[in-house]
Amino acid sequence: MGIPGSGLAKGLAVTMRTMMRKTVTAQYPDVQPDLPPRTRGVIALLEENCTVCMLCARECPDWCIYIDSHKETLPAADPNARARTRNVLDRFAIDFSLCMYCGICVEVCPFDALFWSPEFEYAETDIRELTHERERLREWMWTVPPPPAHDPAAEEPKEIAMARKAADKLAAAAAAAAAAAAEAATAEEGGES
Amino acid sequence: MNLLDTLLRCVGTLVAFLVLPLVVGQTEHKVMAHMQGRLGPMYAGGFHGWAQLVADGVKFVQKENVVPAGADRRVFQLAPAVALLPYLLVLLVIPVGPDGMVGQVVDAGIFFVLAVMGIGVLGSLMAGWASANKFSLLGALRTAAQLMSYELPMLLAAASVAMAAGTVSLPGIVDAFHWWWVPWQLIGAFVFFTAGLAELQRPPFDMPVADSEIIFGAFTEYTGLRFALFLLSEYAGIVVLCGLTTVLFLGGWHGPFEDDLGWLWTLVKTFALAFVVLWLRVTYPRLREDQLMRFAWTVLIPLALAQLALTGIIKVAIS
């Protein structure tokens, strides 16, 4: 305990120090928050990439993704070939009143059609307005930030590492071939003289 | 000419009475917020919420004025005025600057001030008794008990200064002040200030209005403007207490350029003390009733008596 009253003085020092420090208040509507990359604000849809594989709708834990589609038959390019069919998206909607922002749909999408956007100001006064149809989801796409750069100390991405390995191997082979050719040439010269 | 002079002094005191408590209140909003890592009011009035208390006042005026059915109507309605007006009277006699810069010179200044400040507590007692509410009554009786214990050390500490100055007139005390009075009367200043805080029921001595146990003590049944007047009287009390401590213990208008800027020195010292009041409020938790009483009777009164003895000894030694 020490000197009597030292605890009281310590208390005064704490409040004084807090007063001197910067406050932690976020003045939200006036100052936009500084959001981290990969913020989960709203899900955007790049419908050009969507193949209506339904993976997102099936994996969604609370079934908040609604997808309608129909099949379209493309005329055969070649008289001997069969006519091809493909899926056409009719409706893609996410009900954000049900969504729990788990991000599984974004993870499972095999064709990069779903993205996280950091926008979060889409509150509505009517709960039905929270079901965003495909046009709205497509609009969110413009707010998706580019993916953040890799950590400087991070491991190289697999694709680049493999490509580099192959390129290194090729370069080594080429160098070896050049060296062999040069040696052969010197040997020939030596033989002549 | 004389009438004009009187009028001017009265108006000046009234303006100070209406403005200074609000300034203290606004400072409390801001200081408390920053001590808790917040910003406090930011919108009212545009610049850092400077008009927050004006907005609060407008809100209070709009509220319904409820008088409980079982209440003693007249006493209930009169209580806020009784709580508020004594501080106005005290403010009238606190000297601000040299050469008669004071609302009204009262020869027995200290007696007047201490007696009138005691009336303020009567306001909360009336409020508590007339409300016909058990929480109000509890709060009022706690107020009364607190006043009983803390008036004595406050009086003793003030008596020590009067003894040192050889006068009980407030301007006389400031005139007699020397810088070495500060260390000499340090204990007395501590006792006076602390006992004053307890009399104002400011945290950490806010047992009588402990809002987490007895709602708001004597003010439980009050709404609207009457409640606002009680709040205002608390802040007016802070101004008066800090002003008095400044005059009695910190040398009032004494400081560099005191002939021209004496009033400024009084104000600066008063506000520095008001800041300490707010600082204590933010820092310390509320004292329990028994701790409150023990602090008064076993700490403050012996200290005040010791100060009185010290003052007497030194006074005899230097004369």
Q: Is A64 annotated as a binding residue?
A: no
- A99-147 pLDDT, tens digit per residue, is 999 999 999 999 889 999 998 888 889 999 999 998 999 999 998 888 8
Round to whole Å and give the CA distance between A65 and A92: 7
Low-confidence ranges of chain A (pLDDT < 70): 1, 190-193
Across B136-161, average pLDDT: 86
Report the distance separating Cα B75 and Cα B127, nearest Å: 7
Residues of B with CB under 8 A from a CB of A: 31, 33-39, 42, 279-280, 282-284
Question: What span, in angstroms and rounded, lies between the C-alpha atoms of B167 and B107?
Answer: 9
* B72 vs B125: CA distance, rounded Å: 13
The parent domain of residue B170 ranges over 2-20+63-318
B295 pLDDT more than 90: no
Q: What is the pLDDT of residue A1?
A: 55
Q: Which two tokens stand for residue B313?
A: 């000894």
Q: Respond yes or no on whether ipTM tops 0.85.
A: no
Say whether A16 and B34 touch across the interface (CB within 8 A): no
Per CB-CB distance under 8 Å, the chain B contacts of A21 are: 37
Kindly determine whether residue A18 and residue B34, on different chains, have CB atoms separated by under 8 Å: yes
Contact criterion met (CB < 8 Å) for B284 and A8: yes
Question: Residue B279: its chain A contacts at CB < 8 A?
Answer: 12, 15-16
State both tokens at B120: 């303020």
Residues of chain B found within 8 Å of residue A24, distances taken between Cβ atoms: 37-38
Q: How far is CA B135 from CA A3, A12, B42, B200, in A?
A: 39, 32, 34, 19
Residue of chain B whose Cα is closest to the Cα of A22: B37
Give backbone dihedrals phi and psi of A65, rounded to 5 degrees, phi first: -105, 125
> Would you say residue B267 lies in a domain?
yes
Comparison of pLDDT for A15 and B103, the residue scoring more: A15
Q: Using CB atoms, pick whichever of A12, A23, A27 lies closest to residue B37.
A: A23
* A102 among annotated binding-site residues: yes
Q: How many domains does chain B have?
A: 1
Of A16, A21, A25, the CB nearest to B39: A25
Interface contact flag, B279 A21, Cβ < 8 Å: no
Q: Which residues of A touch B36 (CB under 8 A)?
A: 18
Q: Which two tokens stand for residue B87?
A: 């501080």
> What amino acid occupies position A80?
N
Q: A4-8, B24-28, B311-315: lowest mean pLDDT where? A: A4-8
The residue in chain B having the minimum alpha-carbon distance to the alpha carbon of residue A25 is: B38
Rounded alpha-carbon distances, angstroms, from residue B110 to B81, B142, B263: 23, 26, 20
Report the interhelical angle of B186-200 vs B301-318 (nearest 10°): 140
User: B283–A14: do the CB atoms touch at under 8 Å?
Assistant: yes
What are the chain B neighbours of A11 within 8 Å (beta carbons)? Answer: 283-284
User: What is the mean predicted confidence (pLDDT) over B191-212?
Assistant: 84
Q: What is the pLDDT at residue A193?
A: 52
- Give the model's pLDDT for residue B183: 83
Q: Does residue B166 come out as left (phi exceeding 0), alpha (psi in the -120 to 50 range) or beta?
A: left
What distance in Å separates the CA atoms of residue B105 and residue B264, rounded to the nearest whole number? Answer: 19
Let me know: does A88 contact A11? Beta carbons within 8 Å. no
Which of B37, B39, B42 minimises the CB distance to A18? Answer: B37
Report the percent of chain B where pLDDT is more than 90: 1
Residue B309: exposure state from Cβ atoms within 10 A (0-12, 13-18, ≥19):
exposed
Asked if B284 and A11 come within 8 Å (Cβ–Cβ), the reply is: yes
Closest C-alpha to B210, from B276, B118, B135: B135
Contact A30, A65 (CB under 8 A): no
Residues of A with CB under 8 A from a CB of B: 8, 11-12, 14-16, 18-19, 21, 23-25, 27
> Which pLDDT does position B79 carry in this prediction?
87
B52 domain residue, yes or no: no
Work out how many CB contacts closer than 8 A connect A with B: 33
Question: How far does the CA of residue A166 sit from the closest CA of chain B (Å)?
Answer: 57
- Digit-coded pLDDT (tens) for B114-127: 888 888 778 888 88
- Angle between helical axes of B186-200 and B109-130 (0-180°, round to 10): 30
pLDDT of residue A98: 92
Question: CB A27 to CB B39 under 8 A?
Answer: yes
Segment B259-289, tens digit of pLDDT: 777 778 888 888 899 999 999 988 888 888 8
A contact test, residue of B30, B34, B291 with most A CBs within 10 A: B34
C-alpha to C-alpha distance for B109 and B243, rounded to whole angstroms: 13
Q: Retrieve residue B125's tokens.
A: 């007692």
Contact, B174 vs B253, CB < 8 A? Answer: yes
Question: What pLDDT score does B1 carry?
Answer: 56
Residue of B nearest to A12 (CA): B283
